[in-house]
Amino acid sequence: MSFKELLNAYIAKKIPESQKKYVEEEIEKFQVISDYLEDQQLKIKPEDMINKESLDELYAIKKSMKRRTRRTVFMSACLVISILIFINFTAIPLMDHLFYNPFKRTMSSQGSDFELCMEVYHELHFAEPNGIGITTDRTGIGEYDITIMGYNYMQNEYQYQIAKLKRGEFSFPINYWDNFLGFYSDGGIDFELQKNYLSQLPSYVTIQAKVSFNQDLSMEDLAALSSKYKDSGIWFSWAGIRIAEDRNDWPPMAMGFDMVGDGNVYSDVNEKYPNYEVDEYITNQNNQTSSELYETHVKSLLKIMIDNKKFLKLQESGFDLHNYYKSSLDFLEQNGVNTIGIIVNGDPKSVLGLCEEEFIGNVQINSVQFK
């Protein structure tokens, strides 16, 4: 009987006792040999299983794979960075240029064209707040938040308004036009009643009033009037100007200019647009009279508007602003710069004294504040 047959019989427990001991001894020998071989195999190193040439080739392959991995990671990172740089410095700016850019500077190194145009636009049509400042924050492609800040002398506080510029469309703040002042809406106001009201106001209040003239005053007359009342307790802050022969022919936007200046002097703008800013220091340096200063100032404001058609497109709402400013400038060139009324600030008694001038046609009190 072969050993295999004996082993099967041993497993089936059908082996005679005389042969059982023999099979168990053989199994024990096999176990010892297996344990020995297993122990020897654990002592064998991977490099002992292959020759040195094959081992060097294996290391070279691993090194090449690591190098390729690093190169791939590096190239991927460079590609991502390049895409981000392209988006931020090329794609987005290119897309932004499809719309009006409020950061563009061509008129002055001290401020953007948008800031300067907003200041001019505000001065031409608003007496308050004075000396506005503009800050612009980019919120998306062609989208900006515009903060309009100005100082209200009557309320003695800074006022802030938020506007939106979205892909070439400008949205004014809801209350932006609250400070609009026109000189063609005096109908229904009783001059004597207004003067009587002024006479009853206490001396501890300050008022702002719109004073209309019954005849136009030249800039020379206006300068003389301003000088006359310089130390009287009132000051002239804004003057409305005539831009049409008949008030019935006027467009829906009255026009005027700031008589006191806001302190922002743009020297490079003044070179192209003389007296862009009303400033006594500049006036004295140029040996100009106030009347000449006012005239060139108003015309420069209009020229700035005319030269910035893209800005005017932002403001238009079914009204041709470019033609409006151009026709207004043409009218001033032909007829001179004349004022139809002024905004005055001061104590009631002084304003009442001004109202006694023979050329004063009416007065309208806009606000009353405690001093």
Per-residue pLDDT tens for 52-104? 566 666 677 777 777 777 778 778 888 778 776 766 656 556 665 678 889 99
* Rounded-to-integer distance, Cα 120 and Cα 305, Å: 8
Q: Are residues 193 and 293 in the same domain?
A: yes
Q: What is the mean pLDDT of residues 7-21?
A: 74
Please indicate, yes or no, whether residues 339 and 192 belong to a single structural domain of this protein: yes
Tell me whether residue 314 is in a domain: yes
Q: Assess whether 266 and 366 both reside in one domain.
A: yes
Please report the pLDDT score of residue 220 as a whole number.
Answer: 94
One domain, residues 196 and 90: no
Write out the residue range of the structural domain in which residue 284 sits: 182-370
Same domain? For 55 and 67 the reply is yes
Read off the tokens for 105.
Answer: 């500077």
266 in the same domain as 298: yes
pLDDT one-digit tens code per residue, 319-330: 788 999 999 999
Structure tokens at 46: 């991977």
Q: Are 89 and 193 part of one and the same domain?
A: no
* Number of domains the chain contains: 3
Does some domain include residue 34? yes
241 and 223 within one domain? yes
Is residue 353 domain-shared with residue 213, that is, in the same domain? yes
Alpha helices in the chain (DSSP H): 3-11, 17-42, 46-49, 52-86, 92-96, 113-125, 191-200, 219-228, 267-272, 280-285, 290-306, 309-315, 321-335, 348-354
- Residues paired with residue 148 on neighbouring β-strands, in sequence order: 134, 161
Q: Do 268 and 286 belong together in one domain? A: yes
Q: Do 186 and 92 fall within a single domain?
A: no
Distance CA 218, CA 226 (A): 12
* Pair (75, 216) in one structural domain: no
**pLDDT at 161 exceeding the cut of 90:** no
CA distance 212 to 173: 29
